[in-house]
Structure 1
Amino acid sequence: MKSANTSLSTSENLQSTSEKVATPRLNSVQVDKVGFALAACESDEQLEKAVNKYLLMLLVNTATDNAETRAKVMEILVHVNKRVKSRVNVQMPVRQLLTEFGSQSASVFFKQAVLSREGGTDARFIHVSPQSIRCPQVDFDDLVYLSLCREALQNFAIVYIKMGFSRLSYPEKVGLMPALFTCLHNQSVAHRWTLMTLFISVYAEKHFSPNTKISPVKESRTSSTGDPDPCDVLTSELLRTYSESTSFVLQFFSDVLLMPYVRSADTTAPGGFSTNSYKNLNQFLDSTYSEGYLETVKIGVTRLVFNMGVSSELKCPLLLLASSDTHSTVADVAENALRVINESVDQNNAKLVQKLCVLFCGDKRPKVPTEEKTIPVTTRTKLKILPVFLKSRLVANQPIDVISIVYESCFGAGTTNKLRHSALLFVHHVSTFANASTMKTVGPLLKNACVKLMRGDESVAPPADEKVMNYAAMAVAKLASKKPDLMRKDFTLLSAFFKRLKDGDREQKLALQECLALLAPVYSDLRETSVASDEHESILSILDSVIELRHNTSVNQIMIKFIQHCFPAWHVASRYFLLVVTDSSDDVFSLLAAKGKLSADFNQFLLHITSNDKVPLSSLDSDHIERVCHYLRHCLITLTDAEADLTCSELKQQSKHLQKSIETHCEMGKSYAKFLLTQSERNQTFKMFFYLTEVCHVIPTTVCKQVFDKRDQISSFIRAFLNKVTSIIYFLLLHLVIK
């Protein structure tokens, strides 16, 4: 008895639930009458009237639990299909079908079964829109059966919606576009794709002038023919109400804008698609679609996206896709739209950056099935997306995205040197705005990518051109300036830079000069050391390898900059190198004085300049010999006067300090005098004469005898010097007489 009561209660509950969403119900006799009424129709008008009256009623009754009635309904629907398909003028009740279809998507269907214990009895829940009805002890199998019936109803309805929508006039189609959008809610993927293909088919019937200016919509517009504009249908209120459907619509529009114009037999998904999305779009698009059809649809979708009531950050990715279209009519509309919304787009918006990164690099999420993962967009589209990344500080601090963007641009499938150039600009952007933590992660990987391009690695396809190589070198320098550890120990790469400076063409040399100017401060901590290191020797060896380029002004400045930043004031070899490569006495002494009052050790400096094989004194001209002698004199003076001025403005005033130093350090004074005598043989200039006579004047008696043993040499030097002076005076007088 209890079982019978329970069964009766369950049946009553199901009936009451079912009646809320599926009325009116027809019995077997009534279904037969409907079938006779449809069969008796002779003209299109009669058939259309009968279909509009009975079709919805028949579809609702496909969910009946009476097997006999359901079989008769199915037989009648087959009859209707045959007759309606052959009569294209028969209109279907599309609006009513959409209403029922939308209501069924939110009506009785199984969402979840929750088992709970309440007073020792089971309770199961079925959800009914708009409110949930609790049905104690409802049979689970009956619920599943009811859900399947509802699914069958929707499957039938979508067939007639698709059939009837194509027979509507253009204004009627536009009027139903909001209804199509609202029906997307809680639908299966297949039904959503079908509804959206109907949605975009409206744009194929409207002619969009490519010269029409695009501007924000304030209110609904109508075309010149009086038809409503299909680009205004998705208002902000509608999108807010059905926010769950908005994301699907935007993704669908994205796929449409990426769709290639030529349908290929190859089923491989093109750029920006996943395997499933490409398969679905190919399946649901009109099989007769042509290049012109798709172009018109894309123009309409682009205008619709611009007018949608969503934020600029959601519009931006789709407009970027459209702006990269191969047809200028589509690209021009998108470019105009981007110019309008450009100021309102926040390039640091997390959702915008995430969407663009997925488009650019593909979907890298490990838990997403392979067939659902999108592949990177085409190179043409990447070139449109990169400028947005160059304005975003947020993306510069996302290590995974930074690495993916750079490597996808430089080494991804279908890359070009133009894309690589833009990617290297992005590396500069990252170097400028990335924080220390991000640079620590991405720095070594970005450097490796840039070095690979700079060296023209054979594994890189297509080969990097000279412009990319130059920008890659500059990118390495920019990275090193932000994170010095990247280049601090890599003297091989530094040597390669200077070697290319020696062997490269003009454009390459200009780029490398800029690059090396950025690299010099990277080694500035070496300047603070108190002892010479292997790093000093490595840098000096690299500079020595290009010393023959010292007469080139730009290269000369690079050398001087490295000496300034990398070597302390006491470093002997670097002081001599600086004296050799600098062409102006005032410049070199200013540079040396800028290092502070500390100077090189006299004995070590003298030993270095007399034993240097790479740049011997015999290879230097008189001006450089004078500078060397002057600096050697300064090293001797600073032994007793640490504050001595290195410039040549106080030579006479410093003679007393020189005398004091020689008296204190006789051996050094002797070595200095011998050096001057040796150099005076081939450098008979005024300053050399001054230095020699000065040392003869201040030298102690013990050393004087050794100097005067060379009196014939001194006399010869003085005579030669006086002869030069006499000749100069003679020519000056002759010039005055002639005048």
Structure 2
Amino acid sequence: EQLQDIISKFLPPVLLKLSSVQEGVRKKVMELLVHLNKRIKSRPKIQLPVETLLVQYQDPAAASFVTNFTIIYIKMGYPRLEVVKQCELAPTLITAMEGKPQPQQDSLMHLLIPTLYHIKYPTDTSKSASLFNLTERPKTMHLLLEFMLDVLLMPYGFVLNESPTRPAPSSSQGTSGDGTVAASSQGLPQPPPGMSVYAAKRVIGEAQWNAEQLEQCKLGIVKFIEAKQVPEVETVVHLVVASSDTRHSVATAADLELKSKQSIIDWNNPLIINKMFKVYLGDVPLKTKGGGMKQELKHEPVSTRVKLKILPHLLRSRLAAESTAQPNGGPGGCVYWKGERQNW
């Protein structure tokens, strides 16, 4: 289509004109983009030059005004690409996250996650691990793993009700009474178990995945873990959470992967155990850490369903037992003093 050819050729350089020092030029560009947006949105089959836009987005010399508009068209164009092309550009989405504002990083991860299901990883694990090169980007890896855990915790069909008058879920749903009261008292919606309000909002994003899409996203995350894209010690908690999923396909895939790793997982590794406790308990306000966390960022304890998957693994850990035996023994000490010792 002629319009597609024009867009592919002229959109990237037109966006660069947004950095012009002349106000008249910037105004004309804005008027053109408003007109262009209407055309693009009404024609979902039009392809955008996503690859070129990603290169432009990563240019360190680009003005923030330019990158802010460039990512709008990346978000608009990436889902329109054929799946093969999306898989090809997936590593570039990871690279593009470096040094960008948090909301833009969240948007890029929201584009990436559905693609993971379709990626065909090399059977040679040494080549597979180099696909995303996340070990060379520890900050990006941490952000991505955090986002993935939130995706795995997201219930199917969840709706984030912004009304502060929404009735709180009952304790049978596995939420924390303390968290519900605190969230409601500040006029915040109640997040799903294991998540914060902020985490729920960013997983929902601008276009929330339906149940089938969310299931595919979760399967994609398990495939990503199976392909050893990140160190195994970082993803144990992800597999445990996924093994409790209400969809059989996700739970089975995660459980099989977890069982295959049992012989190499060190259940006395503080990194693994502390992550398990953090997910189990949520963000517990410890006196030593103060109470400065914003309520919107506070993670609720996970549901009973997830706790029942976590507990057997904690029971085999000497480190977990030692930390629950004393009130000041770290996160695990809170399990004892919150009255949950009876579940062990």
Which amino acid counterpart does residue 44 of structure 2 have in structure 1? V
Q: Indicate the SS of the match to 1:268.
A: coil
Does 1:272 find its partner at 2:194?
yes
Answer yes or no: is the 8 Å Cα contact 2:57–2:70 preserved in 1. yes
Q: Indicate the SS of the match to 2:261.
A: helix
Find the aligned partners of 1:269 and 1:242 in 2 and give their Cα distance: 30
Which amino acid counterpart does residue 159 of structure 2 have in structure 1? S
Answer yes or no: is the 8 Å Cα contact 1:203–1:300 preserved in 2. yes
What residue number does 1:181 align with? 94
Answer yes or no: is the 8 Å Cα contact 2:114–2:216 preserved in 1. no
Find the aligned partners of 1:409 and 1:203 in 2 and give their Cα distance: 40
What residue number does 1:381 align with? 306
Answer yes or no: is the 8 Å Cα contact 2:243–2:251 preserved in 1. yes
Residues 99-140 of structure 1 show CA distances to partners (whole Å, capped at 9, x for unaligned) of 11122xx446xxxxxxxxxxxxxxxxxxxxxxxxxxxxxxxx
What residue number does 1:283 align with? 205
Which amino acid counterpart does residue 244 of structure 1 have in structure 2? K
Give TM-score scaled by structure 2 length.
0.82
What residue number does 2:166 align with? none
Find the aligned partners of 2:82 and 2:48 in 1 and give their Cα distance: 12
Does 1:306 find its partner at 2:226?
yes
What residue number does 1:192 align with? 105
Q: CA deviation at 1:220?
A: 9.3
The structure-2 alpha-carbon separation of the partners of 1:258 and 1:93, relative to structure 1 and needing over 3 Å to count, comes to: same
Does 1:74 find its partner at 2:30?
yes
Which amino acid counterpart does residue 173 of structure 1 have in structure 2? Q
Q: How does 1:324-473 map to 2 (within 5 A)?
A: 324-364=244-284, 365-366=289-290, 367-398=292-323, 399-408=329-338, 410=340, 420-421=342-343, 423=344
What residue number does 1:521 align with? none
Q: CA deviation at 1:184?
A: 1.0
Match of 2:75 among 133, 151, 162: 162
Answer yes or no: is the 8 Å Cα contact 1:207–1:296 preserved in 2. no
Answer yes or no: is the 8 Å Cα contact 1:59–1:153 preserved in 2. yes
Which amino acid counterpart does residue 385 of structure 1 have in structure 2? I
Which amino acid counterpart does residue 97 of structure 1 have in structure 2? L
What residue number does 1:50 align with? 6
Find the aligned partners of 2:53 and 2:311 in 1 and give their Cα distance: 46
Find the aligned partners of 2:39 and 2:132 in 1 and give their Cα distance: 41
Answer yes or no: is the 8 Å Cα contact 1:324–1:384 preserved in 2. yes
What residue number does 2:186 align with? none
Q: Indicate the SS of the match to 1:368.
A: coil
Answer yes or no: is the 8 Å Cα contact 2:152–2:238 preserved in 1. yes
Which amino acid counterpart does residue 190 of structure 1 have in structure 2? P
What residue number does 1:737 align with? none
Which amino acid counterpart does residue 305 of structure 1 have in structure 2? I
Unpaired segments of 5 or more residues in structure 1?
A: 1-43, 109-149, 209-214, 222-231, 412-419, 424-739
Q: Indicate the SS of the match to 1:88.
A: coil
Which amino acid counterpart does residue 397 of structure 1 have in structure 2? E
Residues 453-504 of structure 1 show CA distances to partners (whole Å, capped at 9, x for unaligned) of xxxxxxxxxxxxxxxxxxxxxxxxxxxxxxxxxxxxxxxxxxxxxxxxxxxx
The structure-2 alpha-carbon separation of the partners of 1:243 and 1:401, relative to structure 1 and needing over 3 Å to count, comes to: closer
What residue number does 2:326 align with? none
Does 1:60 find its partner at 2:16?
yes
> Who wins on radius of gyration, i.e. which is larger?
1
Q: CA deviation at 1:328?
A: 1.5
Answer yes or no: is the 8 Å Cα contact 1:325–1:331 preserved in 2. yes
Match of 1:239 among 120, 124, 134: 134
The structure-2 alpha-carbon separation of the partners of 1:89 and 1:265, relative to structure 1 and needing over 3 Å to count, comes to: closer
What residue number does 1:262 align with? 157
Answer yes or no: is the 8 Å Cα contact 1:306–1:315 preserved in 2. no
Answer yes or no: is the 8 Å Cα contact 1:271–1:378 preserved in 2. yes
Answer yes or no: is the 8 Å Cα contact 2:160–2:200 preserved in 1. no
Does 1:322 find its partner at 2:242?
yes
Which amino acid counterpart does residue 225 of structure 2 have in structure 1? V
Find the aligned partners of 1:344 and 1:292 in 2 and give their Cα distance: 33
Q: CA deviation at 1:217?
A: 4.3
Answer yes or no: is the 8 Å Cα contact 1:236–1:308 preserved in 2. no
Answer yes or no: is the 8 Å Cα contact 1:62–1:153 preserved in 2. yes
Q: CA deviation at 1:341?
A: 1.6
Answer yes or no: is the 8 Å Cα contact 2:125–2:227 preserved in 1. no
What residue number does 1:548 align with? none
Find the aligned partners of 2:336 and 2:122 in 1 and give their Cα distance: 35
Does 1:250 find its partner at 2:145?
yes
Identical counterparts, % of pairs: 31
Q: How does 1:505-544 map to 2 (within 5 A)?
A: none
Q: Aligned Cα RMSD in Å?
A: 2.5
Residues 395-452 of structure 1 show CA distances to partners (whole Å, capped at 9, x for unaligned) of 33332433312345638xxxxxxxx44x1xxxxxxxxxxxxxxxxxxxxxxxxxxxxx
Answer yes or no: is the 8 Å Cα contact 1:361–1:408 preserved in 2. no
The structure-2 alpha-carbon separation of the partners of 1:107 and 1:243, relative to structure 1 and needing over 3 Å to count, comes to: farther
Find the aligned partners of 2:321 and 2:100 in 1 and give their Cα distance: 39
Higher relative contact order (Cα pairs below 8 Å, separated by 6+ residues):
2
Of Structure 1 and Structure 2, the greater helix share is in 1
Which amino acid counterpart does residue 271 of structure 1 have in structure 2? P
Find the aligned partners of 1:93 and 1:202 in 2 and give their Cα distance: 18
Which amino acid counterpart does residue 318 of structure 1 have in structure 2? H
Q: Indicate the SS of the match to 2:205.
A: helix
Residues 643-694 of structure 1 show CA distances to partners (whole Å, capped at 9, x for unaligned) of xxxxxxxxxxxxxxxxxxxxxxxxxxxxxxxxxxxxxxxxxxxxxxxxxxxx
The structure-2 alpha-carbon separation of the partners of 1:327 and 1:409, relative to structure 1 and needing over 3 Å to count, comes to: farther
Find the aligned partners of 1:237 and 1:294 in 2 and give their Cα distance: 22
Find the aligned partners of 1:339 and 1:256 in 2 and give their Cα distance: 22
Find the aligned partners of 2:337 and 2:202 in 1 and give their Cα distance: 30
Q: CA deviation at 1:176?
A: 0.8
Q: CA deviation at 1:262?
A: 1.9
Does 1:99 find its partner at 2:52?
no
Q: Indicate the SS of the match to 1:186.
A: coil
Answer yes or no: is the 8 Å Cα contact 2:16–2:66 preserved in 1. yes
Answer yes or no: is the 8 Å Cα contact 2:54–2:92 preserved in 1. yes
The structure-2 alpha-carbon separation of the partners of 1:219 and 1:306, relative to structure 1 and needing over 3 Å to count, comes to: closer
Q: CA deviation at 1:279?
A: 2.0
Find the aligned partners of 2:237 and 2:135 in 1 and give their Cα distance: 20
Q: Indicate the SS of the match to 1:343.
A: coil
Which amino acid counterpart does residue 163 of structure 1 have in structure 2? M
Answer yes or no: is the 8 Å Cα contact 2:281–2:302 preserved in 1. yes
Find the aligned partners of 1:370 and 1:304 in 2 and give their Cα distance: 31
Residues 619-649 of structure 1 show CA distances to partners (whole Å, capped at 9, x for unaligned) of xxxxxxxxxxxxxxxxxxxxxxxxxxxxxxx
Find the aligned partners of 1:190 and 1:401 in 2 and give their Cα distance: 30
Q: Indicate the SS of the match to 2:58.
A: helix
